[in-house]
Amino acid sequence: MKKILLSMFASWILFSCNDKEQVVDYTLLSDEERLEVAKEIAHNTIIVDGHMDLPFRMYNLGNDLNGEVFDFMTRSDEGNIDYVRAKEGGVDAPFMAIYIPASYQETGGAKGLADTLIMMVERMVDTWPDKLALAKSPEEIENNFKKGLLSLPMGIENAAAIEDDIKNVSYFYTRGIRYMTLTHGKDNLVGDSSYDDTETHGGLSEYGKEVVKEMNRLGMIIDVSHITDKTFFDVAALSEAPIVATHSSVRDFTPGFERNVSNEIIQKLAEKNGMVMITFGGSFLDQNYADANAEIRAHIQEWLKENSLNYRDEAAQEYIRNYSLDKRPVVHVSKVVDHIDHVVKLVGIDYVGLGSDFDGVGDSLPEGLKDASMYPNIIAELLKRGYSKEEIEKICYKNFFRVWKEVESIATK
């Protein structure tokens, strides 16, 4: 039976037994058999990830600034993604987050940083055109997939990048940006951030309303991760196009954590024909992990103050590693699927996807989901819970492609 199943991965559902077609029940396989099936699915299905912070990691390493191209082709022990691990995991279109820290809202230079990060992504593609390609539409991702190329679509994280000029929305769309996260860690000119208690605008600002309309006009996806609930509902009321949380998880698992999406927000996303893309950070997935993380952070901040050190000091890094060891509960990849299950039970299979936040959440990733090679573990867990091939394909890419195409369609009208 195992040999029959393993030889039928591509056709997936049906096999012959006593001249009858029968449905393969993947819940009855062993974990090892199910993982082999999952690997085959991952490599034969497009996997879109809504958010990865690789560009800012490259920027911090300084390679491109020194005229060197970041070595994306070699397997690394650093970060969460490189070409080798991406191919092993079957991820085909990880959105490159053009991340603008909130500090740039005060110092200036946000647009310049965005241009630099976009240039870094473009330089990678120019360096390895036989392996990588930009992607500005679902069709381009599909074509790249057929050619065996890894697509690198781009989205801006923090609308501070457009500064105070609405024309910059069009500028970045022309540069290849296909979604924009409206805020990040602080309120900005567009609206209020879930990480900021100031509530500068009480929701979406007047400028923010113009930004939403312009994004609709251009066909740029509105990313509602990081914004306050008030800002979200302002956006939902105004936007004619579907809206997406590209890297958020379910607030029911982390009560009071506004950065995650509430049931009411999930329902509104579905009503707008949008979606939530579940993110992988431990503090987003599990309240016990979040509590332990908060205690560790508070202790470290006090220790740094007492020792006149900052996070980047080598001595501080060593202390942080040693102190944090074994102080957090273990979170497993199954917790990601718990969040997927919650969305599916609440609003249906059509409104959920994956948005890892790889390279953006440090070492807080679940067991079995530490880097881009491990997407098959998510698929294996979905199989274990009885999800069908069609449902898994929706989670991996079809839901996001539906949203993206509708955003484009509304723009053409």
User: Boundaries of CATH 3.20.20.140 in the chain?
Assistant: 47-286+331-412
Cβ atoms within 10 A of the Cβ of 124, count?
A: 26
pLDDT at 18: 42
Rounded (5°) CA angle 114-118-122: 170
Contacts of 161 (CB under 8 A, 6+ apart): 98, 100, 110, 111, 113, 114, 168, 172, 180
> Do the beta carbons of residue 323 and residue 297 sit within 8 Å?
no
pLDDT profile of the chain (413 residues), mean per 10: 41 40 80 97 98 96 74 95 98 98 96 97 97 98 98 98 98 98 98 97 98 98 98 98 98 97 98 98 96 92 91 86 88 98 98 98 94 98 97 98 98 92
Q: What pTM was estimated for this model as a whole?
A: 0.93
Could you identify the residue written with the tokens 């091939």? Answer: 389
Strand partners for 191: 204
Instruction: Round to whole Å and give the CA distance between 191 and 226.
Output: 10
pLDDT at 63: 61
Q: Strands, DSSP E only, in 104-233?
A: 132-134, 150-152, 154-157, 177-181, 221-223
Rounded (5°) CA angle 156-160-166: 90
Question: What is the phi/psi pair of residue 36, to 5°?
Answer: -65, -40
Picking from 181, 159, 182, the residue whose alpha carbon sits closest to that of residue 171 is 159
Task: Give me the sign of the Cα torsion angle 383, 388, 393, 398.
Answer: negative
pLDDT at 16: 35
Instruction: Round to whole Å and give the CA distance between 411 and 220.
Output: 8
pLDDT at 311: 81
pLDDT at 362: 87
pLDDT at 83: 98
Picking from 152, 178, 187, the residue whose alpha carbon sits closest to that of residue 52 is 152
CATH topology for the 47-286+331-412 domain: TIM Barrel (3.20.20)
> Do the beta carbons of residue 40 and residue 347 sit within 8 Å?
no
